[in-house]
């Protein structure tokens, strides 16, 4: 479990638990600051001390390996997990360099030092300044509040009114500062992952430029580098979408805090001052407590808490409420007071003081006190209303918009990301949603409506539905498989859930997803990869019923669900799912760069995590002589996993550059290791390391190295692998007596295909057994 989200509504309660969560976030940022500071020191040592280069690299590698990013929420995306593991991977590369004892020339000032210093100064430094302001305002607010509450009720009404206004203004200022501080804390927690890792990634890329003798290692690293660039870009894209949603929620709560109060099991909660009576000579004192009350059980709890003493929490006191009575100013020299009586202390009332008259009324109403005025503060969030419906007109709107987009703008750059002019969008939407004018609107041939206006109107219509297309009821169920399990189990779970949708919702979703899949096929020109479409349509097709920071943190998993729909739309919508809900397949612990092992028919086997080295291929124009398929977009990651057993490689690198960032589709890159029926792909690394992998160096086509399995009935290229030697490129521990255990570099004799799909048979140290096909490289 990572750091808990900081809810904006808690800024107004300022509870002890809220302060604990704030301190946890602050401690994590301080840890990050120390880590960056140490990393910067190590980087400068690499420049200043060439003679101590070896020792500095060991220290640098150690710093990278030991640090781990914390995350907000209860799960990470695959991209975030790979980013978290990246520091450990970087450490391993440095260790390999040190073993070779090569003398390297390195300049890290521009690639590492400056970006990290800028992040530490501009981002972490800004948070420190915000913390100082927040602590100072906390002290000021509660000091002024205590002073205000000590005012005698006998003062002139004008003086009291001026004092009330001053306290209210100060409180509003405190809440404003608290909201901004909480928003900044969570923004930096999310931002630090790519802001810290990206400079380190640039450092490694620059490092290999100066390596002459480390050329082979740099070539291997390039696969991981590209995968991590995709992970960072996907994480960055999701961060931008999440940040905008968080800011929108913060502004909503700022405008009306009470309407966005989180639902919980307490009828009322907040701070009250409790009168503690002392012996006669000493009078009484008022101590601030955080109080909660449940009307069903009539249980009232009080926890003493002092903000100004470091947030010290006292012991909790609980009693069952008997009655509540308002105290008038003629019986006590304080305002906003009321009495409570506990069942175990009859006749001994406890006097409480609220922060304001409105606050007292809320407490009196919740406690069923005498003279209580009814003020309903627990209003449910109003259901989103709109004229958009899943009716005949709705289907007509979507079909007309899709037809126009595919006819006029399928290749437009930034399709669906570039928004139209709001007034034009509203005008078009009103025409389309009017049964009298809908059929008269010609979107395909009219120059009056730009493509961006049509796409924006289409998205606005989907957002205006009373309920999201994938429903509130199934929202949580769709999110669960995106957080865990293997790519196959995620697809099966989404497949099952889609068929639980109402028929109209499923029909509309199928039309839309089929269109988005078509858009992604033109990603080479429109730059709208599957991942980018997920960022755009995740919040459009899915949204939680209650808007909270915790729910917004799941926005990245909504994007993954949409990516799964786009990549597997044929299976999901054209076939029926299993009758039972598929259980997520757990991921066993294995080397971070190990590819997935093929499950054997003898029983359920645990699949290894996706291999980062299997995720990317960096192919230059000179290294590819095969022409691209017309229906496979260059830049689509799933183009290598969804074609025939002989893949057709594009003549362009598998990615699109937008500025300085690599844009590629598939949020978790699952398509790179997707197996065709009865077939398991060999390792991409083994293909790249095969001398004949470069068509320029041999007449053997690349496809000859993707050996089909005899079990499929195809005997092409079987002769080229039978009775050959192979070298292990990943370590493996046997999970069955018929399998072989081995380390990297082990040489297998007499290697040939097994009847088990995705497995080979070979001999190692006199023992014959099964070997995962994508764990070896043929010699």
Cα(575)–Cα(498) distance, integer angstroms:
11
Evaluate if residue 26 carries a pLDDT over 50: yes
State the chain's mean pLDDT as an integer. Answer: 75
- Give residue 723's pLDDT: 61
Q: Give the least confident one: 79-83, 541-545, 554-558, 644-648.
A: 644-648
Tokens of 527: 């730059």
- Give residue 715's pLDDT: 39
Short-list 551, 498, 560, CA closest to 533: 560
Please write the tens of the pLDDT for every residue from 139-174: 988 888 888 888 888 888 888 888 889 888 988 988
- Give residue 297's pLDDT: 86
Under a CB-based contact definition with an 8 Å cutoff, are residues 406 and 399 in contact?
no
Query: Quick one: 439 exposed, middle or buried, by C-beta within 10 A (0-12, 13-18, 19+)?
Result: exposed
Evaluate if residue 7 carries a pLDDT over 70: yes
621 against 12, higher pLDDT? 12
Cα(34)–Cα(30) distance, integer angstroms:
6
β-bridge pairing 337-342 and 312-313: unpaired
Cα(715)–Cα(56) distance, integer angstroms:
54
Q: Position of tokens 């809440």? A: 175
**Which of the four pLDDT bands, split at 50, 70 and 90, describes residue 689?**
very low
6 against 601, higher pLDDT? 6
β-bridge pairing 656-658 and 661-663: antiparallel
641 against 746, higher pLDDT? 746
- Give residue 397's pLDDT: 92
**Which of the four pLDDT bands, split at 50, 70 and 90, describes residue 76?**
confident
Cα(623)–Cα(696) distance, integer angstroms:
6
* Mean pLDDT of all residues in 597-611: 37
Short-list 85, 357, 233, CA closest to 655: 233
- Give residue 201's pLDDT: 87
Q: How many residues does the chain have?
A: 779
67 against 756, higher pLDDT? 67
Pick the most confident of 83-92, 217-226, 311-320, 695-704: 83-92
Under a CB-based contact definition with an 8 Å cutoff, are residues 641 and 672 in contact?
yes
Evaluate if residue 705 carries a pLDDT over 60: no
- State the DSSP code for 741: P
β-bridge pairing 268-277 and 284-294: antiparallel
- Give residue 387's pLDDT: 60
| Alpha-carbon dihedral angle through residues 357, 359, 361, 366, given to the nearest 10 degrees | -170
Task: Report the alpha-carbon angle 727-733-734, nearest 5.
Answer: 100
Cα(326)–Cα(306) distance, integer angstroms:
26
Cα(124)–Cα(116) distance, integer angstroms:
10
Evaluate if residue 626 carries a pLDDT over 60: no
Under a CB-based contact definition with an 8 Å cutoff, are residues 687 and 623 in contact?
no
Backbone angles phi and psi of 710, in degrees to 5:
-60, -25
**Which of the four pLDDT bands, split at 50, 70 and 90, describes residue 279?**
low
Please write the tens of the pLDDT for every residue from 627-650: 333 333 333 333 323 333 333 333
Q: Give the least confident one: 103-112, 201-210, 282-291, 470-479.
A: 103-112
* Mean pLDDT of all residues in 613-639: 35
Short-list 731, 610, 596, 745, CA closest to 668: 610
Instruction: With H, G, I as helix, E, B as strand and everything else as coil, classify residue 728.
Output: strand
Evaluate if residue 708 carries a pLDDT over 60: no
Neighbours of 52 (CB within 10 A): 12
Evaluate if residue 462 carries a pLDDT over 60: yes
- Give residue 524's pLDDT: 92
Evaluate if residue 300 carries a pLDDT over 50: yes
**Which of the four pLDDT bands, split at 50, 70 and 90, describes residue 769?**
confident
**Which of the four pLDDT bands, split at 50, 70 and 90, describes residue 563?**
very high
Evaluate if residue 720 carries a pLDDT over 50: no
| Alpha-carbon dihedral angle through residues 288, 292, 295, 296, given to the nearest 10 degrees | -140
Under a CB-based contact definition with an 8 Å cutoff, are residues 654 and 669 in contact?
no
Percentage of the residues of the chain whose pLDDT score is greater than 90 = 15
Please write the tens of the pLDDT for every residue from 525-550: 999 999 899 999 988 999 888 777 77
Please write the tens of the pLDDT for every residue from 646-671: 333 333 333 333 333 333 333 333 33
Evaluate if residue 602 carries a pLDDT over 70: no
Instruction: With H, G, I as helix, E, B as strand and everything else as coil, classify residue 773.
Output: helix
Percentage of the residues of the chain whose pLDDT score is greater than 70 = 74
């Amino acid at each position: 479990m990572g750091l808990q989200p900081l809810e904006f509504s808690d800024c107004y309660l300022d509870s002890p638990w809220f302060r604990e969560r704030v301190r946890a976030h602050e401690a994590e940022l301080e840890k990050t600051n120390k880590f960056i500071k140490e990393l910067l020191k190590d980087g400068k040592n690499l420049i200043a001390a060439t003679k101590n280069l070896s020792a500095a690299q060991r220290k640098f590698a150690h710093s990278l390996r030991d640090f781990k990013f914390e995350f907000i929420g209860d799960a990470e995306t695959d991209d975030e997990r790979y980013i978290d593991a990246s520091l450990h991977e970087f450490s391993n590369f440095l260790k390999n360099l040190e073993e070779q004892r090569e003398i390297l020339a390195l300049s890290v000032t521009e690639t590492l030092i400056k970006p990290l210093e800028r992040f530490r100064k501009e981002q972490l430094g800004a948070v420190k300044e915000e913390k100082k302001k927040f602590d100072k305002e906390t002290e000021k607010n509660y000091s002024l509040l205590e002073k205000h509450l000590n005012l005698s009720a006998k003062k002139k009404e004008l003086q009291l009114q001026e004092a009330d206004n001053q306290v209210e203004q100060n409180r509003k200022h405190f809440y404003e500062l608290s909201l901004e501080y909480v928003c900044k804390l969570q923004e930096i927690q999310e931002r630090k992952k790519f802001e810290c890792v990206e400079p380190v990634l640039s450092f490694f890329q620059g490092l290999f430029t100066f390596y002459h003798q480390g050329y082979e290692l740099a070539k291997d690293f390039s696969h991981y580098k590209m995968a991590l660039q995709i992970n960072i870009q996907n994480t960055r894209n999701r961060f931008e979408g999440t940040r905008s949603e968080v800011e929108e929620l913060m502004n909503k709560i700022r405008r009306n805090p009470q309407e966005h109060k989180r639902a919980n099991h307490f009828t009322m909660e907040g701070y009250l001052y409790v009168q503690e009576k002392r012996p006669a000579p000493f009078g009484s004192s008022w101590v601030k407590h955080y109080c909660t009350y449940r009307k069903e059980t009539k249980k009232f709890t009080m926890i003493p808490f002092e903000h100004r003493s470091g947030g010290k929490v006292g012991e909790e006191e609980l009693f069952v409420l008997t009655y509540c009575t308002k105290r008038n100013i003629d019986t006590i020299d304080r305002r906003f007071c009321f009495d409570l009586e506990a069942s175990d202390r009859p006749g001994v009332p406890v006097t409480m003081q609220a922060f304001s008259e409105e606050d007292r009324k809320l407490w009196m109403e919740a406690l069923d006190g005498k003279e209580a005025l009814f003020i309903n503060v627990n209003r449910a969030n109003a259901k989103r209303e709109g004229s958009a419906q899943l009716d005949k007109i709705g289907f007509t709107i979507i079909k007309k918009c899709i037809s126009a987009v595919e006819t006029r703008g399928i290749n437009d750059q930034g399709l669906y990301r570039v928004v139209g002019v709001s007034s034009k969008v509203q005008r078009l939407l009103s025409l389309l949603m009017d049964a009298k004018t809908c059929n008269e609107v010609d979107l395909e041939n009219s120059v009056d409506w730009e493509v961006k206006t049509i796409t924006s109107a289409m998205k606005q219509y989907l957002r205006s539905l009373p309920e999201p297309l994938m429903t509130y009821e199934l929202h949580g169920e769709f999110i669960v498989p995106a957080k865990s399990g293997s790519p196959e189990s995620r697809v099966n779970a989404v497949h099952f859930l889609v068929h639980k949708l109402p028929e109209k919702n499923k029909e509309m979703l199928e039309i839309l997803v089929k269109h988005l899949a078509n858009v992604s096929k033109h990603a080479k020109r429109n730059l709208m990869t599957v991942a980018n479409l997920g960022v755009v349509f995740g919040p459009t097709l899915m949204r939680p019923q209650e808007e909270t920071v915790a729910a917004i943190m799941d926005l990245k998993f909504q994007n993954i669900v949409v990516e799964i729909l786009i990549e597997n739309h044929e299976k999901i919508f054209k076939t029926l799912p299993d009758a039972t809900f598929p259980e997520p397949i757990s991921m066993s612990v294995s080397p971070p760069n190990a590819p997935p092992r093929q499950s054997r028919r003898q029983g359920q086997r645990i699949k290894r995590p996706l291999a980062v080295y299997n995720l990317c291929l960096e192919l230059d124009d000179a290294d590819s002589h095969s022409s691209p398929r017309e229906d496979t977009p260059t830049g689509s990651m799933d183009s290598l996993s969804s074609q025939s057993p002989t893949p057709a490689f594009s003549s362009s690198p598998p990615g699109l550059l937008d500025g300085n960032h690599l844009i590629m589709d598939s949020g978790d890159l699952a398509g790179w290791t997707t197996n065709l029926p009865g077939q398991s792909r060999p390792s991409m690394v083994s293909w790249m390391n095969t001398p004949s992998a470069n068509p320029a160096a041999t007449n053997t086509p690349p496809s000859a190295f993707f050996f089909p399995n005899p079990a499929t009935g195809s005997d092409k290229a079987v002769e080229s692998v039978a009775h050959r030697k192979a070298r292990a490129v990943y370590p493996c521990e046997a999970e069955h007596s018929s399998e072989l255990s081995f380390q990297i570099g082990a040489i297998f004799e007499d290697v040939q295909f097994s009847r088990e799909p995705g497995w080979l048979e070979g001999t190692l140290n006199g023992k014959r057994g099964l070997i995962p096909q994508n764990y070896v490289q043929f010699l």
